[in-house]
Amino acid sequence: MRILIAGAAGFLGSHLAEKLIALGHNVIGIDDISTGRLVNLDCVINHERFEFINHDVRNPLDIKIDAILNFACPASPIHYQSDPVKTIETNFLGVINLLHLAKNQEILLLQASTSEIYGDPTISPQHEAYWGNVNPIGIRSCYDEGKRAAETLCFDYKRQYSVDTRVIRIFNTYGPNMALHDGRVVSNFIVQALQGHDITIYGDGSQTRSFCYVDDLIEGILKVLFLKNPIGAPINLGNPIEFSMHQLAEQVIALTGSDSRIVFENLPQDDPKQRKPDISRAKEILGWEPGTQLNEGLAKTIEYFRGELSR
């Protein structure tokens, strides 16, 4: 297949590009290199079946392809909040431009949605039928509501134009190709520990997240992409094992052997208190569940960041 990846230079887009090339597909990667990094594409950039186009997905594009993966949007709160108008435009205009392509060429579009569409959830774990608890005017809304509107568009294009749209809701994911200054908790804690700096827990550290190692997630995404009979409903993809930020900090300190101190800083506005996916739908439909334990995935990620710091 000839597959378009929007956001190809980002953390997940770059892993997908590498995997799809290895599987024998042709990949066209587009990215505006705002938070993505070309270095993430080092292993495919010179491959004969890979092509890179510097393109901002907010602008229309016309290109002949067989499938679209839409991963174009900054995903770390510090990045998506630094230009919130661009963030919501990227989600809204970006998916419209790509859905237009999918409709005209009668091809599938896989939309990277997010656990953020559940906001600060009032139930745990979060299953796909839960409508969420999102502040529509807060500092996270540009991302949360942008992703929610993108889901709406995917389902409207499916109902109105019969486009094969597939929506995955990705929970916190970590691993190689995250940027040193990504700003998310796993990269912050590891880089702080390796540099002997204070480890910054926001709030009291009791808030939880469920962390999925990137290889597990990519396997789940490919299963959705290649599913013969799409189910026409969103699918949660993530690791259901929940940790508090305090537990995460302690694991990172133990695995790095760091003597960093833990310090506490203010909890950002609207920071979700808990997050844990219900993955029964993914298990049933895809036969997928993540297999990497947190300490195993963290060890690989620590090695990656050691390499990045010594560059």
Q: Which residues contact 284 (CB under 8 A, 6 or more apart)?
A: none
66-84 b/e with 16+ CB inside 10 Å = b? ebbbbbbbbbbbebbbeee
Buried b (16+ CB within 10 A) or exposed e, 107-123: bbbbbbbbbbbbbbbee
91 in contact with ligand UDP (CB under 6 A): no
Is 97 or 111 the residue whose CB approaches ligand UDP more closely? 111
Q: Which of 165, 207, 239, 256 forms a contact with ligand UDP (CB under 6 A)?
A: 207
80 is catalytic: no
> Cα–Cα distance between 45 and 56 in angstroms, integer?
19
Site string for ligand UDP, 53-82 (x = CB under 6 A): -----------------------xx-----
Which runs of E-coded beta strand occur in 102-217? 108-114, 165-170, 173-174, 199-202, 208-210, 212-213
State in angstroms the smallest separation of the CB of 243 from ligand UDP.
10
Q: Please, what is the Cα angle at 149 between 143 and 151, to 5 degrees? A: 105
Under the criterion CB under 6 A, does residue 184 sit at the interface with ligand UDP? yes
Q: Give the H/E segment covering residue 179.
A: none
Binding-site string for ligand UDP from residue 246 to residue 285, where x marks contact by CB under 6 A and - marks none? ---------------------xx--x--------------
Q: Which stretch binds ligand UDP (CB under 6 A): 154-162, 198-206, 227-235, 252-260?
A: 198-206
Chain positions 217 to 246 lying near ligand UDP, rule: CB under 6 A, are: 245
By annotation, the residues acting in catalysis are 143
In the complex, the residues that contact ligand UDP under the rule CB under 6 A are 76-77, 172, 184-185, 188, 200-202, 207, 209, 245, 267-268, 271
